[in-house]
Structure 1
């Protein structure tokens, strides 16, 4: 049996996951590009700035700016100038975001359950451990450039 490239499988799972999540989140005004990741981060760390979000979520600055702008237009976040750095803006969840948080978590929990539907608990734990190992092996190359 021919061995399939791990990167190809991870890429396929990622693309498929993003399509499914985009379809489930679209009725709530949350688009693709990982917007839900930004919303979760802002809900978890109110007052975080865009540079911190970029670093924390490992997206590029353009994706962060685009996602934050779209979430703001959808009424999920608000931005205020950082009193310590006028060039920076602090990002806060709105009441709409706080009310939506349990729905978002439910969508993500349901999706994660779907991902491991055909695994037993031991296989799920093993998979998590292996994925963390793979993640650590590429972290040094994953640092933002420039």
Structure 2
């Protein structure tokens, strides 16, 4: 039997392949959904805050935002209180596709959990939430040192 991390990594890779295929139809890369949904939820978020929120490094955020800006999904503006800091805003184009992004993600969740009874799904999600909290605490404490 595969280890827990092997299974998590395989599931993450399969999910990435699914997102890549589905989001390509919208003109997005497989991780662009995380950027768009977060920016739509928090208009004016900084690049640093975005990196922390979606667990990627700042250079990756810069590259991905450049692509999203070029495709017309976001705009970047100087922060009126700190000109060195950029605020990121969704465009109307991003607002228009966010529900389709959510639908694609919900469809994948439904596919993955179709054979798991509802009660077990709730237990599984609660267990995964505990694991995520542990992982986030461990990573965040190391990054602060």
If the TM-score is normalised by the length of the shorter chain, which range does it land in? over 0.9
Instruction: Judge which range, 65-74 or 12-21, deviates more.
Output: 65-74
Taking the TM superposition and a 5 Å limit, the aligned residue runs for 1:1-146 are: 3-32=1-30, 34-143=31-140, 145=143
Structure 2 SS opposite 1:28: coil
SS in structure 2 at match of 1:142: helix
Root mean square deviation of aligned Cα = 1.4
What CA distance in whole angstroms lies between the structure 2 residues aligned with 1:126 and 1:67? 35
For residues 10-69 of structure 1, the C-alpha deviation after alignment (integer angstroms, 9 at most, x for no partner) is 01100110110111000211113x211011000111111111101111111112111111
**Scaled by the length of structure 2, what TM-score is found?**
0.92
**Counterparts of 1:60 and 1:93 in 2: how far apart (Å)?**
21
Paired positions, count: 143
CA distance in 1, matches of 2:96, 2:83: 30
Query: After TM superposition, where is structure 1 displaced by more than 4 Å over at least 4 residues in a row?
Result: none
Report the TM-score, using the length of structure 1 for normalisation.
0.92
Aligned counterparts of 1:4 and 1:108: Cα–Cα separation in 2: 26
Bigger share in helix: 2
